[in-house]
Amino acid sequence: MTDAAVEIDRLSKRYGAVRALTDLTLRVESGEVFGFLGPNGAGKTTTIRLLLDLIRPTAGRAELLGMDSRRDAVAIRRRTGYLPSELALDPRLTAGELLDYYGHLRGGIDTAWRDGLVDRIGLDPSRRLRTLSTGNRKKAGIVQAFMHRPDLVILDEPTSGLDPLVQRAFLDLVREVAAGGACVFLSSHVLTEVEDAADRVGIIRAGELVTVDTVAALTRQAVRHLVLRFTGPVPAEAFTDLDGVSDVTVDGALVDATVTGSPDALVKAAARFELADLSPRDTELEDVFLAFYREAS
Amino acid sequence: MLGSVFTKTLRDQRRSVIGWLLGIVLLIAYVVAFWPSMERSPALTQITEELPEALRAFVGGADLTTARGFFSTQLFAFMLPVLVGILAVGKGAATVAGEEERGDLDLLLAQPVPRWRVALEKAAAVLATIAAVVAVSCAVLWTGIAVIGADVTAAEVARGMVGLGLLGWLLAAVALAVGAATGHRGTAVAAGAVVGLLAYLASTFARLANGLGWLAAASPWTWAFRGDALGEGPGASGVAGLVVLTAALLAAGIWRFTERDVGV
């Protein structure tokens, strides 16, 4: 029990008849980067807000850093960083003033570390938050979540709105603090945004945890759409009954296939013809879910 | 100004407060400048004597021929309480509920400050702002009265201003408490406005109707000003009533705020 940064036990939240979260049980270790994945409205934000004691559970409980999420909320928040998904910051303040304010409320922070973060993320602290783009406001949110060297960082959709360069700097930071022993709990609705950083991924759908596994294991079960373009027309028979391949449509030189797990059989079948292009269509998280539905049914 | 929730909240209010203060100062200056010509006008005494009792009660029931009665009526019977009341209700509603609706309360409540303390510091900042506005108004009115040499004492001005400030506190507390309890700014504004309006109507009209004296006596507006603001002021019981009611409302609102889900 001692090393769990997050220990959730049958946590549930209901709004009247609406079940926002049902019996969530989950354990995340210190030093771990945990990706919390699900489509919008699946219960990710509800879970995170329950952990931070912004909303209260209908049933169940959670321990963060070994403390009760309700009773020890203030002590937990002292050692926790948080980035909300719909980040609203006081528009009248500059980014630097915002960091000063929260730094004071935390009883003072290591300003050298904070200034280092500001540089790494590329935040301009002199700009008024009102004048910043969503991506730049997000930078301010990221810095404030990490600036007091928290033992637990809870980030709700941190990468949405960030440009790729900042996204990389952010993921480096996540890996670095996790290597230093902190737990990073980050939610996203896009697998590719967290797969590089997360050790394990939990998938939540309609308020229920569907699975928890390593990223590698999940991609093995992931469903992908591949589009193959050949230099000339290909026979449809060549692409029937392939291992792990379904929903094949052959239209002249164009082949569209759905692959579950390894694309090996499809690639070998394609190798008999002259291939002009092979490209995946975006893997949406929904496709990963699809694999689970098929398993279930 | 960014060292605590209290000072940050003060800072949030400074710009709009300066605007309100300017308006209030202009009103006071206008009314004060008017008095010397009124004082010398014999027609005024006549008009006042001919005024139906209902109308006189409506403007506070004071004697318009004395400086004290004139300022009580012109400033405290309606105009100043309305200006301070709008400021109080607006700030009270904006401070917790407004920030919650805008969304930036979320991150503040994720800082290691207990929720009750965030609300309490914000409430204290709203009350301090109102106190500051009333204190400046008090200084301006007293200076004006001294300049024109009207027959009103500093103690009388202070009495009226204490009533005004405490009524402002009460209305701010209504809006802040309802906003903290519900998270809805609109509801908070409505609650403050309704309480203010009912208090005013109860204080002015109920006094006229036979058998409704208890209603006037129950109105916080009456507690704040009684017959005429500068003459009687709130008195010890009025001060106690307003302070206790303000504190009780804030305590209830903050308690509810700590118990409920935020930002849903």
Residue B234 CB partners (closer than 8 Å, separation 6+): B159, B162, B163, B166, B223, B224, B225, B226, B242
CA nearest A94 in B: which residue?
B2
What pLDDT is attached to residue A1?
Answer: 44
Three-class SS state of A41: coil
Model confidence at B163: pLDDT above 80: yes
What average pLDDT does this structure show over A189-203?
84
Name the pLDDT band for A218 (thresholds 50, 70, 90).
Answer: confident
Interface contact B110-A54, CB threshold 8 A? yes
Please state the length of chain A. Answer: 297
| Predicted complex: ipTM over 0.95 | no
Model confidence at B98: pLDDT above 70: yes
Interface contact A82-B114, CB threshold 8 A? no
B180-199 burial: b if 16+ Cβ within 10 Å, else e: bbbbbbebbbebbbebbeeb
Check: CB of residue B75 under 8 Å from CB of residue A41. no
Q: How many CB atoms lie within 10 A of CB A169?
A: 18
Model confidence at B16: pLDDT above 60: yes
Sequence-ordered alpha helix ranges (H) in A122-209:
134-146, 164-179, 191-194
Q: Is B144 exposed, middle or buried (0-12, 13-18, 19+ CB in 10 A)?
A: buried
Interface contact A74-B113, CB threshold 8 A? yes
What pLDDT is attached to residue A153?
Answer: 98
| Averaged confidence pLDDT in chain A | 90
H/E stretch holding B246: helix B235-259
What pLDDT is attached to residue A293?
Answer: 47
Phi-psi region of A41 (alpha: psi -120 to 50; beta: other; left: phi over 0): left
What pLDDT is attached to residue B38?
Answer: 81
What pLDDT is attached to residue B124?
Answer: 98
The CA distance from A4 to A152, in Å, is 11
Is the four-CA dihedral A96, A98, A100, A103 of positive or negative sign? negative
Structure tokens at B258: 């700590």
What average pLDDT does this structure show over B79-86?
96
Structure tokens at A111: 């300003």
Check: CB of residue A160 under 8 Å from CB of residue A87. no
The CA distance from B177 to B200, in Å, is 20
Name the pLDDT band for A193 (thresholds 50, 70, 90).
Answer: confident
What pLDDT is attached to residue A289?
Answer: 58
> Which tens digit of pLDDT belongs to each residue from A36-56?
998 888 999 999 999 999 999
* B125 contact A CB<8A: no
- Helix axes of B115-148 and B5-39: crossing angle, nearest 10 degrees: 20
Q: Which residues of B touch A151 (CB under 8 A)?
A: none
Model confidence at A288: pLDDT above 70: no
What pLDDT is attached to residue A297?
Answer: 42
Residue A290 CB partners (closer than 8 Å, separation 6+): A223
B124 or A85: whose pLDDT is higher? B124
CA nearest A102 in B: which residue?
B111
The values of phi and psi at residue B184, to 5°, are -110, 120
Q: How far is B122 from chain A (nearest CA, A)?
A: 14
CA nearest B118 in A: which residue?
A105
The CA distance from A263 to A223, in Å, is 10
The CA distance from B92 to B90, in Å, is 6
| Averaged confidence pLDDT in chain B | 91
Q: Which residues of A touch B (CB under 8 A)?
A: 15, 49, 52, 54-56, 73-75, 77-78, 80, 82, 84, 86-90, 92, 97, 100-102, 104-107, 141, 144
B53-58 contacts, C-beta under 8 A, 24 or more apart: B53/B208, B54/B208, B57/B204, B57/B205, B57/B207, B57/B208, B58/B204, B58/B205
What average pLDDT does this structure show over B154-170?
95
The CA distance from A37 to A155, in Å, is 12
Q: How far is A67 from chain B (nearest CA, A)?
A: 14
DSSP per position, B51-68: S-HHHHHHTTS--TTSHH
Q: Is B86 exposed, middle or buried (0-12, 13-18, 19+ CB in 10 A)?
A: middle
Model confidence at B129: pLDDT above 50: yes
> Which tens digit of pLDDT belongs to each residue from B220-246?
999 999 877 888 888 899 999 999 999
Model confidence at B178: pLDDT above 90: yes
Pairing of strands A183-188, A200-205: unpaired
Model confidence at A277: pLDDT above 80: yes
Q: Residue B113: which of A49, A92, A105 has the nearest Cβ?
A: A105
Query: How far lies A256's CA from each of A251, A259, A277, B150, in Å?
Result: 8, 10, 12, 93
Interface contact A97-B111, CB threshold 8 A? no
Q: Which residues of B touch A87 (CB under 8 A)?
A: 103, 107
Q: Which residues of B touch A89 (CB under 8 A)?
A: 104, 107
Q: Residue A77: which of B102, B111, B261 has the nearest Cβ?
A: B111
Question: Please, what are the domains in chain A?
Answer: 31-51+73-214 (3.40.50.300), 222-296 (3.30.70)
* B37 contact A CB<8A: no
H/E stretch holding B124: helix B115-148
Interface contact A97-B114, CB threshold 8 A? no
DSSP state of A94: B
B166 or B212: whose pLDDT is higher? B166
What average pLDDT does this structure show over B43-47?
70
Q: What is the CA radius of gyration of chain A?
A: 22
Q: How far is A287 from chain B (nearest CA, A)?
A: 30
Interface contact B104-A78, CB threshold 8 A? no
What pLDDT is attached to residue A290?
Answer: 56
- Helix axes of A111-121 and A95-105: crossing angle, nearest 10 degrees: 150
* Interface residue of A15, A49, A134 to substitute, partner B, most B CBs within 10 Å: A49
Q: Which residues of B touch A54 (CB under 8 A)?
A: 106, 109-110, 261-263
Query: Whose CA is closest to B88, among B169, B193, B157, B208?
Result: B169
Residues of chain B above pLDDT 70, percent? 95
Model confidence at A87: pLDDT above 60: yes
The CA distance from A57 to B217, in Å, is 45
Q: Which residues of B touch A100 (CB under 8 A)?
A: 2
What average pLDDT does this structure show over B114-131?
97
CA nearest B110 in A: which residue?
A77
Check: CB of residue A91 under 8 Å from CB of residue B103. no
What pLDDT is attached to residue B58?
Answer: 61
Three-class SS state of B114: coil
What pLDDT is attached to residue A259?
Answer: 86
Residue B240 CB partners (closer than 8 Å, separation 6+): none
Name the pLDDT band for B59 (thresholds 50, 70, 90).
Answer: low
CA nearest B103 in A: which residue?
A88
Interface contact B102-A88, CB threshold 8 A? yes
The CA distance from A112 to A135, in Å, is 24
Query: Whose CA is closest to B263, among B88, B143, B126, B99?
Result: B99
Residue A80 CB partners (closer than 8 Å, separation 6+): A52, A64, A65, A150, A151, A152, A153, A154, B110
Query: Whose CA is closest to B134, among B162, B100, B101?
Result: B162
Model confidence at A296: pLDDT above 50: no
Q: Residue A82: which of B3, B107, B113 has the nearest Cβ?
A: B107
What pLDDT is attached to residue B174?
Answer: 98
Residues of chain A above pLDDT 90, percent? 65
> Which tens digit of pLDDT belongs to each residue from A108-148?
999 999 999 999 999 999 999 999 999 999 999 999 999 99
What average pLDDT does this structure show over A202-228?
85
Interface contact A74-B112, CB threshold 8 A? yes
Interface contact A90-B106, CB threshold 8 A? no
